[in-house]
Structure formats: C-alpha cells, structure tokens
Amino acid sequence: MSAGRQPAGFQVSAGGETHPGHVRNKNEDCFLTDPEIGLYLVLDGMGGHMAGDVASARAREVIRAEVRANLRRKPPPTLLEDAINAGSAAVHADARRNRDLTGMGTTVVGCFLTERHAVIAHVGDSRAYLLHEGRLRLLTRDHTVVAELVARNALSVAEAQVHPYKSVLSRNLGGRPDAKVDLSEIDLQPGDRLLLCSDGLSGFASHEAMEQVLAGAEDAERAAADLIELALRGGGGDNVTALVVDCGPEVVAESTQELRTGVATAWWSRREMFRREARARRVHESPICAVLSPDEAVAIVAGNLCEAIYHDLEQSAGLHVWTFAENLASGWLDQGGDYPVLRDLLDRLRESALAVIVEVATVDARMAIALETSILRALIVAEMAVAGAIGERMRRTEELLVTQHTRETTAPTFADEKTIPFTGAHKIEPASPVVVACLERARSTGLAGLPGGDSAPQAAACIDAAHRAALHDVGSEHDPMTAVRELFGSRVMSESALRPLLESLDVARSEHLRAVQVQKDDPAIRAAALRRLASIHQGMMGALALVVAESAQAVADQFRIATVRTARLRAEVGRTEARLSRLERDLAGIVERRR
Amino acid sequence: MARHARTFATIRPEVLERLVDVRGSIDHTLSGVPSHLIRQEFDAVLDRMEAYLSDQDVDRYRSFATRWVAFRLGEGFSPENLIHSVVAIGDVVLEVGRRRLTPGPDTSEFVREVARMNFAAARIIVEILAAELETMRRSAGRSQTS
C-alpha cells in the first residue's frame, strides 16, 4: 500500500494488484501508483497482439514522465490528456520502428488527484468507479464498437453482452499518435474510494459483487486483493488488474505556533546553505560590499539577513529584517549609491533564499510552502524599509527643488501688487512736521521699550513698519497692507506660524502708543500722532487678516478644484480599468481560441 | 495558476467588502472617499490581482501599478503610505483567504501564491519610487548647474 504526499487534501492511500488470470500465460496489464504527484493508472496491453505488455509498460512510463515534467505548467485535465497522448505517440512510434511490435496497443484509465477533485481520463475499456457512501458508480464509458452501438441505440444492452465483438476496441493507445481521450472531473469526499480496473475485473464480476467487496474491505490494499480474487472466482478469463485509491480523513493543519517554530527551525538549520548560495550568487561582488573581503561580505550581508529572518520568523515580527534593509538602503543611498546596485544585491539575496526553499521542498513539500510564504513576508518587509529610505530621500530632494523654485520665482520681493484694496482707517492726511518729529521720537522710545524675547525683532519690525506707514500717504509702498505682506513673509497657514506675528503686532502696538503718550509734546500733537499710529496699527492687524484670508482662499479654491478633479479622475480610472480588463480578457480568449 | 485565480474569484466579493470597511486603516485619506468610488477603485485592483494570479504577467501588472502609483502620489500619498497600502490590500486578501478557505494543502499553496504576488507588487512599487527619486535628483542637479 502506498501513502505519501497529500495532493487532494485527504490522507490518501492506494493499493493495487494484478494477475494474469486462469487463461493467459502472460500478463499484459500493468498499473501505476505515484502518490507523490497524485497519479494512478491502470493499463491493459492489447492481448491479441504480440507485445501488449510492452505497449502498456511503455505508455505507463511515458505518461508518468510527462505528468511529472509538466506538473505545475498545465491545468490537471490538460496535463493528463497531453500525457496520455504522449504515451500513445510513444507506443505508436515504437510499433512503427520495430516490426516485432507492429500493431501493439493498450488501454488506459487514469486518475489525477487535485484539491478534493479527481480528474479521470480513459481510452479503451479499462474502467473507473467511485464508491461513495456504500454505492458504486461507473465513471467511464467503454470505448468498444459494441458500446458505441448501444449508445447509438443500434444494439440493446442484452444483445451487447453476448455480441461476438464485445471486446473489440474503438479507441486505444498506439493505434494512432494521438488518442481520443475522454475526460471527466469529480468532487471527492472523505471516505470515498476510487477503483481503476481492467476489463479482466469488470468482465468477470458483477457490479453488485464489486460494490460489496469494495464497501467491505478494511483498506485499499485488501480491497484490491479481494477484487482480484472475485474476478478469478468468476472465471479469470483475462488478465485482471484492480487499483483502489482511498480518500481518508482530511489533513488537519498544525497549530500556527507549531508551524511557525518549525519554519524558523527549518530556516536556521540551513543558514550555512544560505551563505553558500549567497556566495555562489556573488553577493560579495556587489559594489555595496566593495570595502569588505568576500568572507566578510557574505558573513555580514547574508549572515545578518539570515539571522534577521530567523528572529522575525521566531517572533512573528518584522523588526529585524526592517532594520537590516533600512540600514543597507540608507547607508548605500546616503553615499550617493545608485538604486539598481541595491536592487541587484537584494535580488541575489532573495534568489539565495529561494534556493534554500527548493532544497527544503525535496524533503518536505508542505514545510517548503510554509517557509516560502514566511520568507516572502520578510522580503516584503525589506521592500517596505527600502521604500521608506527612498521616500526620505524623495522628501529631501523635493525640499531642495522647492527652495530652488522659490528662489527663482520670488527672488525680488514678496510685496507683489495689491490684490485686495485696503480701505482701512489709515486713510489720513499728511503728517505735519511737528507730528513727524513726535513720531520719530516715539519710534525710538517704542523700540527701546520693547520687552526682550523671541518676538522682539518682529515687534521692532512692526513698529518700524507702522512708523513708515504713518509718515506716508495711502497708496505709497509703505502702506499697512504692504508692510504686513512683508512681515507675513511666507504663506504658511499654521497656527504656530501666525501666533508669533499676532503677538508681535500686539506688543508693537501697545509699546508704540505708550511711547507717544510719554513724549513731552503738546497734547494736541500727541493726540494727532496717537490717532495716526492707532489707525495704522489697527490697519496692520486688519491687513494681516486679509492676507491670511487671501492665502487661505487660494488654497481652499485649489482644494475644491482638486477634489472635484480627483473624483472625476477616480471614476474615469475605474471605468477605464474595467474596460481595459474586459479587452484583455477578450484578447486572451481570442488567442486561446486561435491556439 | 488558473486554479489560484479561481480560488481568488471565490473570495473576491468578501475581500472587496472588507477593503471598503477598513479603507481608513489602509490610508486615512481613503476614509473620506465615497464608498461607491473607492469600491470601483479597489475592484480594479482586485481585477488586476486576479489577472496576475491567472497569467503571472509581471509587465501588465507593472503598467497598472505605475498608473496607480502616479494617481496616489498625485493625491498626496507618501511613498511609505503607498507601499503600505499595497501591502495592506494583499494582507486583506490573505486574511479573508485564511478565514474563508478550508485549511489544507491547496489553501497553503494559494496563500503562498498571494504572498508571491504581494512581494512582486511591493518590488514593483519600490522600483517605481526609485525611478521617481532618480528623476527628481536629475531635476535638482539641472537646476543647480543652471
């Protein structure tokens, strides 16, 4: 009995037996169980010819080799059909080459197990049955001349059973290079039992007896032996072969913790192999490792990555690999290194890891899948770290570009032409010389009276700006709007940028007005200066609000426009992607049909 | 590969619902996008994923990713957010797959296939970002010399 890989998600076991029967000396039947790939075959070499056993054995080996070679390249039905055709071509070619083999051929019935499915293929009169919940069901239709006459209602079932040509095949392997293969797919359940057999069984045992034997046998091997016995008791007039495949209980996944520990251990136990693979892929020749000896390069780069992956697998985290990749990428990019060099090194390391996984697969296919999934996760983390390092450099470069752009476009002065007419309280008459003198003194006093601290320079600038505005007429380059534009400096909208300016304006206003009040001028002169300055300071505060509103308005407008455009683009992209996808599917269909 | 695409197709509706539900944690800017629009966008991404699982055509996947990245960068996604969102979408596929599919060898193979796809996507995004950085650097270099 054979049990191995579990391609169907069940614990599969199979047992087969063949016997020459009581009449023939030679057994031209043969069978194959290959649990590793989930392939099971029964072949019946054509008994009336010289080399039926050669034909069945040759077809069996070719079919197995073809399935193994194309296991992951073709969908199961195509895989099995192509393999059987290759078997037919090989038998046909051998028969043409060797006169002793002329006319040889064979039947075949095959089963390829996939996830809870079986693909059944057959040519000739070898059969497949399914025993499900105690009931036996025939899955194939014989390719005999008589069976086809019955199918066309040209012959009754009773007539067929006694027809002299009831064993004459209408299809076989070897008669022509390509056999006409019948294919079907069935869903399997735990407890199902598949039977593949030659006509030496179905021709000498009743359906009911076969059902009873199959349902009663304790395992696949016993079932096959009992079926052979049944055929022999029924006369044994032909070679007889029975192959039984049992679908046992479902394979139960191990716990996540168990699997994780197993994966980490499987990786760590192959650390030397990973280093060897890294060396074989010439990791040490990467320009990133230029200052290291080959041994150091492999030990540091491959060794550290190997260790980082191990720790992350063990802890189900990503920190170690992230740190490794971040350091590697940042270190290289900071010294002006090119991305393709970094990419090349990362790819070599990934290929080294995949080589280790290939080795694991030869020992334990399931572990290899779990390990590859985990390693890929670690490598995704590494890619994220590299993206972070690149993103950081993108931001730095963007800042540089903005600085360059700002310097080019706003070089002369920020005070561009007025976009908001300012009609505030500073609309006043030209100052008289005595008021100007008072203002000059008040400026000096006000500047001297400013409290220290971070806001002092800006408050001083506010006093200066108000002073200049107070000395000039509306519309001059020294009006409050222009002054505030200069003070505002840049159009940053955050509170942290505005608050110091507001505080400076406030401090400047109180100090400036207090400075006028302490002058020894005539009260009327001080009053005139006060009115003028109060008006100017009020105007500056108002101007600030307008400048902020002006900037915010522009941003808000842009945002609204961007939102509308983004929504339109999103809808358009969605529609286009759907259209593109449909076209690609249509194209794939056309290409497929042409093939 | 077609069987993985078929498996993906069976869980795709649930993946889409989950993506729409958790879009805010994929990237906070997505939480403000109306459901019907984000559904359309995620559906396009899932369509590509299904196609990739079926044909393994990296070039076609790359051309889609390039357009996707261009839009996201235009919307103000940072490079970190960008790759995070791509990986997060893949993680949602894995999460739904693990929850909905029966444990067994085929599910393990499907999970591995999705992990391979996620890695391919992450790698493509990094390549696009690196190309963008190179363009910016060249531009900055030209400005400095002029």
Cβ <8 Å between B2 and A404: no
Q: How far apart are CA A442 and CA A339, in angstroms?
A: 63
Cβ <8 Å between A581 and B43: no
- Averaged pLDDT of chain A: 82
Q: How far apart are CA A247 and CA A371, in angstroms?
A: 27
pLDDT tens-place values along chain B, 146 residues long:
688 999 999 999 999 999 998 888 887 777 777 788 888 888 988 998 999 998 888 888 888 888 878 777 766 678 888 888 888 899 899 889 888 888 888 888 999 999 999 999 999 999 999 998 898 888 887 766 65
Q: How far apart are CA A86 and CA A92, in angstroms?
A: 10
One-letter identity of residue A309? I
Please spell the DSSP secondary structure of A13-55, one letter per residue. EEEEEEE-TTT-SS--EEEEEETTTTEEEEEEE-TTSTTHHHH
Q: What is the pLDDT of residue A376?
A: 93
Cβ <8 Å between A394 and B105: no
Please spell the DSSP secondary structure of A291-344, one letter per residue. TS-HHHHIIIIIHHHHHHHHHHHHHT--HHHHHHHHHHHHHHHHTT--HHHHHH
Residue ranges of chain A with pLDDT lower than 70? 1-10, 47-50, 72, 115, 249-261, 405-432, 473-481, 485, 488-497, 551, 554
- CATH topology for the A261-407 domain: Globin-like (1.10.490)
CATH number at residue B128: 1.10.490
Q: Which CATH number fits domain A10-250: 3.40.350.10, 3.40.1410.10, 3.40.1030.10, 3.60.40.10?
A: 3.60.40.10
Torsion of CA A326, A329, A332, A338, to 10 degrees: -160
Phi, psi of B81 (to 5 degrees): -60, -35
The ipTM (two decimal places) reads 0.93
Long-range contacts formed by B134-141: CB under 8 A, 24+ apart: B134/A339, B136/A394, B136/A397, B136/A398, B136/A401, B137/A397, B139/A401, B140/A397, B140/A400, B140/A401, B140/A404
Give the single-character DSSP code of A154: S
Which residues sit opposite A120 in a β-bridge? Answer: A111, A184
Q: How far apart are CA A112 and CA A119, in angstroms?
A: 5
Give the tens place of pLDDT for each residue, A410-432.
444 433 433 333 334 344 556 66
* Chain B interface disruption, residue of A255, A258, A380, most B CBs within 10 A: A380
Cβ <8 Å between B79 and A390: yes
Host domain of residue B21: 2-145
Please spell the DSSP secondary structure of A393-453, one letter per residue. HHHHHHHHHHHHHHHHHS-S-S----SS----TT--PPPPHHHHHHHHHHHHHHHHH---S
Q: What is the pLDDT of residue A259?
A: 58
Total count of domains within chain B:
1
Q: Is A488 left (phi over 0), alpha (psi -120 to 50) or beta?
A: alpha
Give A581's contacts (C-beta < 8 A, 6+ positions apart): B44, B47, B48, B51
Q: CA distances (Å), A42 to each of A5, A50, A146, A530, A555, in order?
A: 20, 20, 22, 113, 77
Phi, psi of A99 (to 5 degrees): -60, -30
* Chain A interface disruption, residue of B58, B114, B119, B145, most A CBs within 10 A: B119
Cβ pairs bridging A and B (under 8 Å) = 143
Q: What is the pLDDT of residue B8?
A: 93
One-letter identity of residue A461? A
Q: Which of A75, A577, A584 sits opposite B44 (nearest CB)?
A: A577
Cβ <8 Å between A114 and B134: no
Residues of B in contact with A353 (CB under 8 A): none
pTM of the model: 0.46
Q: Where are the domains of chain A?
A: 10-250, 261-407, 433-566
A491 SS3 class:
coil
The distance between the two most distant Cα atoms of chain B, rounded to a whole number of Å, is 63
* CA atoms within 13 Å, Cβ hemisphere of A239: 25
